Amino acid sequence: MGWSLRVIAALTADTEPCLAIICDQPYRKYIFNVGEGTTRSCIQRKFALSKTSAIFLTRLNTLQLGGFPGVIMNLADIGTQDLQVFGPQGLAHYVASIRKYCRRTLLGVDLKECIPQTPSSGEELAPIPVLTDENLSIYAVPILPQPLTFRERSSSDSSRKRRRSVTPDSPSKRMAEKADRASRHSSQSRTMEGVPSSTQEEADRIRRKIVSEMFRPQDIQYPSGSRVNQYNDVDVDVADTPPVLPSITAPSQSLWGSRLPTATYPSHVVAYVAVGTPTRGKFDVKKTKELGVPNGPLWGKLGRGESVVTPDGKTVTPEMCLGPSKPPTAFIYVHCPDASYIDNIVISPDFRPTRYGTDVVMHAIVHRVGDDVLGDPRYKQWMGSFGPQVHHLVSGERYSPNQVSYTSSATAQLQLSELDSEIFRVPHHSLVPLDDIESVSGLPPQTTVLRHDVEIKMSPPSAPQPPSHVGEDTFQPALLLAKESSTDETNPFADDYARARAIVKDAQRLRDVEDGGVAMAGHDVVITTLGTGSAMPSKYRNVSGNMIQIPKWGNILLDCGEGTWGQMARQFGPDKIAGSTSLVTTPQDLGAGGSTKQQREMPDVEDVIRNLKLIFISHIHGDHHMGLIKILAHRRALKPPPAEPVYIVAPGSAIIYLQEYNDLEDIGVKDYSSVRLINARRFCAEDSESENAGVDEASVESTLGLESIATVRVLHRVQCFGIVLRHMDGWSLVYSGDTMPCDALVEAGQGATVLIHEATMADDEVEMAAAKAHSTFGQAIDVGRRMHAKNILLTHFSQRYPKFPELKTSPSTVVDEAGDVIAGREAPIAVAFDCASLRIGSLWKMEHYMNALAKTFPQDEEAAPSEADLIAGGNSRPASPSKGKKGKNRGKP
């Protein structure tokens, strides 16, 4: 019964450390922290989420749980039945806050909050595991910072009988009441706006009630093969969803539609200690024969731990035939955000191996540390107290190099940068950290930096090493080759790229003549398609996100799915751990650390979010907004703070979600000078509330130089809005959100300079597009034709087309303001790629690059498994590859 530790993701600009414990017999997985990009990291590294039975969170912070909703939805969609989730106090509040877009009623979810408590009279109680299986036991160790604030001290002092507790459901007698009691709690007469008359216990019951309705009720049996319809704010497959089972009641609308009770929680983190079982000694064949046990079934029984009787009547026990057993090994995941947590870490008895048995051997410790932790003498002394044999893997912004996380996508961008280095930029990265960990004196001898794909075998124990079955990193070798050789020698598509560039050069001369050297309005506005896929990320496409940069005015973000911040950091760089400069690059411009030496200066990611003036969220589906929290958290942390607020125009359900999450982490939504929330209906002409837009509308327009801003109700399966922006400089932009072809959008966007329209399905999937309320490629282009749009940018492609969607529709014709056809020029139709930066005045180039792009990404390049297959059953066993179970992608679109 072996178990091992696998690093799914290390700390980089776009990933947070994510670890997995993998047990062999029975085969199951436990995941520690699920930051943004966890699902995409699993796909990139062929780590299947199947057989995951528990998630452990060290902190309720966007860094540690930004990918939680995506992981939950994927686990449900691949058929996971039950999941335990452990985390700090406030976990139920967080999970309840995502109710509008993360309801999965076939998945049973059991939440356990690890609450810090202090012992009375200095008593030291024996630790109790929060989870135990055949291979190991896992213990939670809540840690408070020092000194405690008054609020935190009151919370801790209110229950001093125990050192800590885990709630609600645990094998321990110390566990609090079960969640199903909360699900029976009546709340019909309770107001949700702050719940002024409710006790904290009642507020907690409200959260538990909501959580119980989000996931599979424990007392309901589902017919084999059935699928329950989801709440109407969550997308499901219409084509294969049976009617709602009559025994399933609808969610409590009074709870789901209102704000959760406000809450404050202690700012504690939770460390986890995993302790294995002793490893059975080696079977001694020679000794067994000497004892008179014949080879055959009796040997098998001895191997299984059973006593046997020899033919001559002698009883032989397993201990008589086995070598000495090996002691159990242990692993710690400790999270120390800053130096204020150090005292309570170093004095805690729960990190001593002897707490869990006199023969327990500490084998590995993973440290997630803040900038001021690793150099602190107290922390270094604590690390050294475990002995020189322990492997310490450190993850911190100062010590972790900004390696490329998604190497497939980065390799594609590297190649495309040779086609057009202004549109396709090499992702910002660095192999060199800000500080070399070896420069920190006094660390234990086996201290290294945590890196992607490292595997540590715990039973039997071995040193950290890369797993043999992980695919090769294609990016760094390709980058090295590009720097050492000419483009013609390294790129098999060099001739195709050269022809495309020549065509663009000729077309540019013709356009200059036709335009008389006068630039079109908005020619210097830059559209960066940060994410161009739908539903879930893939190796090549992240989910929705579009950055609009308006020179001298500011920036607009149109939707921001999970991972948008990471895409921004790679595109604009550098952030705190990115050691590269922010310049437009080609492979030949890159230095050894991924930094550039020349080219045109560009704003870095801090500049981009500091000048972010408007964020538009089209609808509540997770692939359009799950990255918003992290962006707001980074913006909130800017010093000095931005001079102007960011306006967030979003559906009411998204606004409530932001307000509820702010109870756990300050993202600025309570600070009017930082964030201003506006319901998208207030800009909708067909909605009566639009009459009340007033000051908000004027403020948004003035801050960005807009002549007008309008939202449009489009045709999707939940409330969804498109947006029309008209600038005083004479250009306009329309963004469709998710929609079927919509006449209201066509009318509102007449004469748009640019239409960004979803094109989820291929032209031969019209029926599927209608069933899912999406558009085909051809339908999106037709909307642009009827709108008289001058440029059409297609995005939001189904992950059925992970590399290059094949267009079979001819481009439309460009018309002028009067509706007259401009002779000799066709409307540019561009296919969006992740992290392509397109100036409106240069968007037409993409159409001329289509043939070269198609050759770069042939559809039949390989018979690779789908992303859903990788999530459901890719290679993730520690020893040898496993075919795994093929899963069907039942999520969006």
Bridge partners of residue 166, in order along the sequence: 114
Which one, of 36, 38, 12, lies nearest residue 433 by Cα?
Answer: 12
* Summary mean pLDDT of the chain: 82
Mean pLDDT of the 103-130 span: 82
**Domain extent listing, the chain:** 3-276+327-392+435-459, 285-320, 496-584+600-859
HSE-CB of 882 using CA atoms within 13 angstroms: 16
Distance CA 269, CA 333 (A): 11
Q: Dihedral (C-alpha) 845, 846, 848, 853: value to the nearest 10 degrees?
A: 140
Q: Is 381 exposed, middle or buried (0-12, 13-18, 19+ CB in 10 A)?
A: exposed
Sheet holding 675-679, edge to edge: 675-679, 646-650, 612-616, 554-560, 545-550, 526-531, 836-839
Is 4:456 a contact under the CB 8 Å cutoff?
yes
For 374-414, the pLDDT digits (tens) are 999 999 999 999 999 999 999 999 999 999 999 999 999 99
Which own/partner pairs from 155-162 qualify as long-range (CB within 8 Å, at least 24 positions apart)? Answer: 155/89, 155/265, 155/266, 156/116, 156/117, 156/118, 156/266, 157/118, 159/117, 160/117, 160/118, 160/119, 160/120, 161/117, 161/120, 162/117, 162/119, 162/125
Q: Is the pLDDT of residue 860 over 80?
A: no
* pLDDT: which is higher, 226 or 564: 564
Q: What is the pLDDT of residue 436?
A: 96
Q: Write the DSSP symbol of residue 72.
A: H
Across 142-146, 215-219, 251-255, which has the greatest mean pLDDT? 142-146
For residue 247, what pLDDT band results from cuts at 50, 70 and 90? Answer: very low
Select from 3.40.50.10680, 3.20.20.140, 3.30.200.20, 3.60.15.10 the CATH code of 496-584+600-859: 3.60.15.10
Where does 310-355 show beta strands of DSSP type E? 315-316, 329-336
Q: In the CATH scheme, what is the homologous superfamily, with its name and number, of domain 3-276+327-392+435-459?
A: Ribonuclease Z/Hydroxyacylglutathione hydrolase-like (3.60.15.10)
Is 227:238 a contact under the CB 8 Å cutoff?
no
Is 636:629 a contact under the CB 8 Å cutoff?
no
Lowest mean pLDDT among 171-175, 697-701, 722-726, 842-846: 171-175
Is 754:774 a contact under the CB 8 Å cutoff?
no
Instruction: List the structure tokens of 551.
Output: 């020179």
Distance CA 537, CA 535 (A): 7
Distance CA 181, CA 93 (A): 17
Lowest mean pLDDT among 189-198, 235-244, 256-265, 791-800: 235-244
The amino acid that residue 663 corresponds to is D
Sign for the CA dihedral angle at 483, 487, 491, 493 comes to positive
Mean pLDDT of the 784-795 span: 97
SS3 content of the chain, % helix, strand, coil (to 5): 30, 20, 50
CA 407 to chain centre: 16
* pLDDT: which is higher, 343 or 267: 343
Distance CA 555, CA 206 (A): 39
Distance CA 23, CA 137 (A): 12
For 555-588, the pLDDT digits (tens) are 999 999 999 999 999 999 975 554 443 333 444 4
For 18-75, the pLDDT digits (tens) are 999 999 888 999 999 999 999 999 999 999 999 999 999 999 999 999 999 999 999 9
Instruction: List the structure tokens of 877.
Output: 């066993």
Q: Is the pLDDT of residue 182 over 70?
A: no
Mark 71-101 as b/e (b = at least 16 C-beta within 10 Å): bbbbbbbbebeebbbbbbbbbbbbbbbbbbb
Which one, of 879, 883, 888, 796, lies nearest residue 833 by Cα?
Answer: 796
Q: What is the pLDDT of residue 870?
A: 56
Alpha helices in 426-493 (DSSP H): 475-484, 487-490
By three-state DSSP, how is residue 333 classified?
Answer: strand
The amino acid that residue 603 corresponds to is P
Is 82:108 a contact under the CB 8 Å cutoff?
yes
Instruction: List the structure tokens of 491.
Output: 């790129």
For 694-720, the pLDDT digits (tens) are 567 889 999 999 999 999 999 999 999
Same fold, 3-276+327-392+435-459 and 496-584+600-859: yes
pTM of the complete model = 0.85
Is 616:649 a contact under the CB 8 Å cutoff?
yes
